Chain A
Amino acid sequence: MTTPVVEARAVGRVLGEEVKQEVLKDVDLSVAPGEFVALTGHSGSGKSTLLYLLGILDRPTKGSVWVDGVDAGPLDDDERAALRNNKLGFVFQFHFLLGEFSAEENVMIPMLRRGVPRDEASGRAKKTLERLGIPELAGRRPGQMSGGQQQRVSIARAIANEPKLLLADEPTGNLDSVNAAVVMELFEKMSDDLGMAMVMVTHDNSFAARAARRLVMRDGRIVEEHARGT
């Protein structure tokens, strides 16, 4: 049996300091290498919270998260940061690029953190932008790009380090339908080309239907699971 790229074991998460709210309740989830999983559900169902836990940006209140066979629980902040840098890529709804940096530099940052020499990082960033069909954006800053272009750059940044797992939080949520479709295709292409697994939170059922597995969440639990075509 292959090691799952990410695994949640009986994960629970309580949020709020004065009013405690159990946002996740005993969630188990395992994502195999190369697998495309969609997380759907209403607002407040806990899907984003689960995504941040899988991306070890957050710590569970109970249970444990394993990334590529490593229990993230006992790791300190630096080790978790290194794990994110090496194994994970993030795409957020609000395309979050650093405004002071060009598209190419934004894509280079995760590689530079990993210690990739500047020239090589620059070359790889250009190649990644090319692969996403936006080589002409390399020198532009986020302020000079459309929302769809920014989101494509942020995908380039997420995959630049060739992560094992791509985590996307409503990546098409802020885009018009044309751009959303383009971004969705890119995700699938990248997932196929690079063999990376993907967990995507989405409201869009048509996109979710394209995933190998579609999980529906409600009140902090995974309540339904559908394979593609069912």
Chain B
Amino acid sequence: MAPRLVIFLALRQLWDKKLLNLIAALGVALGVAALITMNSIMQGFQMKFKGEILKISPHVTVYAKELDTSASLGAQWARAAGAKGPVLVTVAHEQPNDRTVSIKRPHELVHALERMPEVEAACRGINGQAILSFGTKNTGVDMRGVDPDEQNRCTPIAGYVEHGSWRAFAGARDGVVLGSGIAETLGAKVGDRVTLVAPAGGAVTLDVVGVFEVGIPAVDKARVYVNLEKAQTVLQRGSQIGRIEVRLRDPEASEPTARRIEAVTGYDTEGWQEANANFLSLFAMQNMIVGIQIASILTVGGFGILAIQIMLVMQRLKDISILRSVGLTRRDILFGVLIQGCLTAIVGGLTGDLLGWRIVKFLGSLKVKSEGLVKSSTFVVYEDPRFFVYGVVFALVVGAAASLVPAFRAARVEPVAVLRGQVG
């Protein structure tokens, strides 16, 4: 092959038909712009969601084990069948109050967990459903009984308290901190007195000492924090601890760490990824669907290149024959067309980068009030330079694939057939 000659010829031919090639490039540009825009929006949203989740959720939660379930009857019978001598099989109906729902010696467990190198902090808590009343209004809440100082190390909630303060909560045994949505529903504000009632029958009167807003409507509209002892009282659980929340140094390592804690302590654990598996798998699905859409748009762009290159090859049969007669090989001709297709695609890719960048900037500046999974006042976009590189790389792949057909068509041209047709 004569690479420099082939590139020279290809560039000139490309430039000579710049309008047509630009149209083909635009098809690819739209695909690349879509790739960048969609990825920026989705990654932006997903990362914001994960960020919010990580800010407010424990990385790993240790639960009191739900009833150390005996092996099923079937399994017991099976074991019995293989055993020698007498066998005891327990046949009993499980009652909910058989369940051991508290963590034994929680202080020691917290200290033990905090000595693990992966763990930054651990804290005790007890959760339960309750009804919060203010005046004539009631609302169901997700009550979190916590030690205020301990809790703030596990899930730094203090920073999200918008009215009142977490410090005031730490200093007041009868204090309650409401999610902003609950405060709004009840019309309660800092200084108001509210009543908390649990299905188990306990009731306490509390002072609103803070209102927090973390930006996740599901949390802001449901959660209240009360002192550990108050929660235990309301739930009538004595001094039991229902769960221990753990904050890790590396949140991404939640799953292996959770399994390790489970193995060591014998309690059930759940990492934040597992706890939010429904959302995370939704995101994975969403990414796949968007990926298919982008691939479709890029493929359509590729067909643009294919159509125009095929047309140009048919127009240039005479030129191809001349080039072959003066000594260019089939491979020279093949690469000439491939180069044109790839360059068209690269121009399309770079244009798409520019277009995508502008669109992302524009979307980022839009004021949008959204209150779905995550509360946000702007379009959350994430600009990753990798998207722009991917854009050009995908464009190049599409361009190369699309120009294969025209390139082989050009390389197959038999000069004599063309010359004979022309010369007669």
Q: Give A contacts to B, CB under 8 Å.
A: 43, 48-49, 52, 55, 57-58, 77-78, 81-82, 84-86, 90, 92-94, 96-101, 105, 109-110, 112-115, 118, 157, 169-170
Closest to B8 in A: A112
- B319, A52: Cβ atoms closer than 8 Å: no
Residues on A with beta carbons closer than 8 Å to the beta carbon of B8: 112
Residues on A with beta carbons closer than 8 Å to the beta carbon of B331: 78
- A109, B415: Cβ atoms closer than 8 Å: no
Residues on B with beta carbons closer than 8 Å to the beta carbon of A58: 416
Residues on A with beta carbons closer than 8 Å to the beta carbon of B75: none
Asked if B373 is an interface residue, CB under 8 A from chain A, the answer is: no
Instruction: List B residues 301-327 near A (Cβ within 8 Å).
Output: 318-319, 321-327
Task: Give the shortest distance, in Å, between A2 (CB) and chain B (any CB).
Answer: 24
Residues on B with beta carbons closer than 8 Å to the beta carbon of A97: 322
- A81, B416: Cβ atoms closer than 8 Å: no
Identify B423's interface contact among A78, A94, A105, CB under 8 A.
A94
Residues on A with beta carbons closer than 8 Å to the beta carbon of B319: 98-99
Please count how many residues in chain B sit with their CB below 8 Å of the partner chain's CB atoms. 30
- B322, A96: Cβ atoms closer than 8 Å: yes
Q: CA–CA, A52 to B325, complex, Å?
A: 10
Instruction: List B residues 224-251 near A (Cβ within 8 Å).
Output: none
Residues on B with beta carbons closer than 8 Å to the beta carbon of A101: 12
- A115, B2: Cβ atoms closer than 8 Å: yes
* Given known A113-B2, A115-B2, contact A77–B329 (CB-CB < 8 A): yes
Instruction: List B residues 394-424 near A (Cβ within 8 Å).
Output: 415-416, 419-420, 422-424
Identify B324's interface contact among A57, A92, A112, CB under 8 A.
A57
**B8, B13, B327: which has the most chain A beta carbons within 10 Å?**
B327
- B423, A77: Cβ atoms closer than 8 Å: no
* Given known A98-B319, A100-B13, A109-B5, contact A84–B416 (CB-CB < 8 A): no
Contact with A along B4-17 (1 / 0, CB 8 A): 11001100110110
Residues on B with beta carbons closer than 8 Å to the beta carbon of A77: 329-330
Q: CA–CA, A86 to B328, complex, Å?
A: 11
- B416, A86: Cβ atoms closer than 8 Å: no
Residues on A with beta carbons closer than 8 Å to the beta carbon of B321: 96
* Given known A98-B319, A100-B13, contact A85–B420 (CB-CB < 8 A): no
* Given known A94-B422, A99-B319, contact A85–B326 (CB-CB < 8 A): yes
Q: CA–CA, A112 to B13, complex, Å?
A: 17
Q: CA–CA, A167 to B140, complex, Å?
A: 97
Closest to A83 in B: B327
